[in-house]
Structure 1
Amino acid sequence: MPRSRRTSSARTSSERYRNRHGRTLRSSVTGPHLPPLRTRIDSFEMTVASTADYLKSVWPDELADVKFEIGAVPLGLPEAGAPVARWSVIGHRVILYRLPIQRLSKLHRDDELHKRMIIESCVFRAVAELLGKDPWDLAPDRFRHF
């Protein structure tokens, strides 16, 4: 079947750059050739790094040779009915799994503060497991409100 000449020749340059609602196409704020200014991965890494630095300043002798790493997901499948691991402690390595922490955590408010708090709590619980302490005992002065 031959094409209609009307559709191919009648298009103007402005029609090519419009979607079906008549608006122009949208791009990101940073432009099409620049990366986003701050991604979820970057904010996750910054939160883990700042929390790890804080804990290393509070417990310098115990955490001197501890390495903090970030993984996407834990290797292998969990057993049936078992929860997905949020972190692993292997020797002097603490591996935090980004996707289970970010996507499987139940937040009562979905904002930046609560997302940061859940990441910090996972770092605290992983370090507490490494040191054999209660997470609340890692920074007792931080939780005093007087």
Structure 2
Amino acid sequence: MATPPRARPTGRAASRDRHGRGLRSSAAGPHLPFLRTRVDLFDDIVAQTAQYLKELWPDELEDVTFEIAGLPSGRPERSFERWHVDAIRRTVTLYRLPIERLARTRESRQAVDAEWDHRVLVEGYVFRAVGDLMGKDPWDLAPDRYRQ
């Protein structure tokens, strides 16, 4: 199966280049791949979930663009929004830091199911944002997604 296209990150540097010296080498040496960061993991989960929803709803989500940003621009009035939907431009923007940092979950890095819990958390916000765009309940988008 081909890997789904990555969601487009916005407002983030493509690579880390401190003081013009180029990329730092891997802590484990040049023969091992770079470690996956939380940012990469978040981008991958959003891209995979977006691709899944586009396969389920091809006509409704054909021209929808998914973007990822760290924080919403401007000052928060009461709380940070987790996503923004622009129905005219057909754009869904997910904000990584409010989603990951302000969620109340039992997630812990030492927990056995921490990666699964994180995936479900991020997917839930993608489903809510798409439901907001389409005017549907998020549970109606993929009713068999979490059934076993």
RMSD (Å) for aligned C-alpha atoms: 2.1
Q: How far does residue 135 in structure 1 lie from its aligned partner after superposition? A: 0.4
What residue in structure 1 maps to residue 12 of structure 2? none
User: What SS class does the counterpart of residue 145 from structure 2 fall into?
Assistant: helix
Q: How far does residue 144 in structure 1 lie from its aligned partner after superposition? A: 3.8
User: What SS class does the counterpart of residue 67 from structure 2 fall into?
Assistant: strand
Q: One-letter code of the match for 2:46?
A: V
User: What SS class does the counterpart of residue 29 from structure 2 fall into?
Assistant: coil
| 1:128 equivalent in alignment to 2:131 | yes
Alignment counterpart, residue 114 of structure 1, candidates 109, 117, 127: 117
Unaligned runs of 5+ in 1: 1-27
- For residues 32 and 69 of structure 2, the distance between their equivalents in structure 1, rounded to whole angstroms, comes to 25
CA deviations 1:117-146 (Å, max 9, x no partner) are 11000000000000000000001122444x
Q: How far does residue 52 in structure 1 lie from its aligned partner after superposition? A: 0.2
- For residues 142 and 116 of structure 1, the distance between their equivalents in structure 2, rounded to whole angstroms, comes to 13
Between structure 1 and structure 2, the one with the greater Rg is: 1
CA deviations 1:64-123 (Å, max 9, x no partner) are 0000000010011111xx221000001200000011111111111321111111100000
What residue in structure 2 maps to residue 89 of structure 1? 85
- Scaled by the length of structure 1, the TM-score of the pair is 0.73
CA contact (8 A) 1:30 1:37 kept: no
- Scaled by the length of structure 2, the TM-score of the pair is 0.72
- For residues 122 and 30 of structure 2, the distance between their equivalents in structure 1, rounded to whole angstroms, comes to 31
Distance 1:94 1:33, change over 3 A: same
Larger RCO, structures 1/2 (Cα 8 Å, 6+ apart) = 2
User: What SS class does the counterpart of residue 144 from structure 2 fall into?
Assistant: helix
CA deviations 1:45-64 (Å, max 9, x no partner) are 00000000000000000000
Unaligned runs of 5+ in 2: 1-25, 109-113
Alignment counterpart, residue 102 of structure 1, candidates 96, 100, 106: 100
Q: One-letter code of the match for 2:125?
A: C
What residue in structure 1 maps to residue 17 of structure 2? none
What residue in structure 2 maps to residue 46 of structure 1? 44
- For residues 33 and 99 of structure 2, the distance between their equivalents in structure 1, rounded to whole angstroms, comes to 24
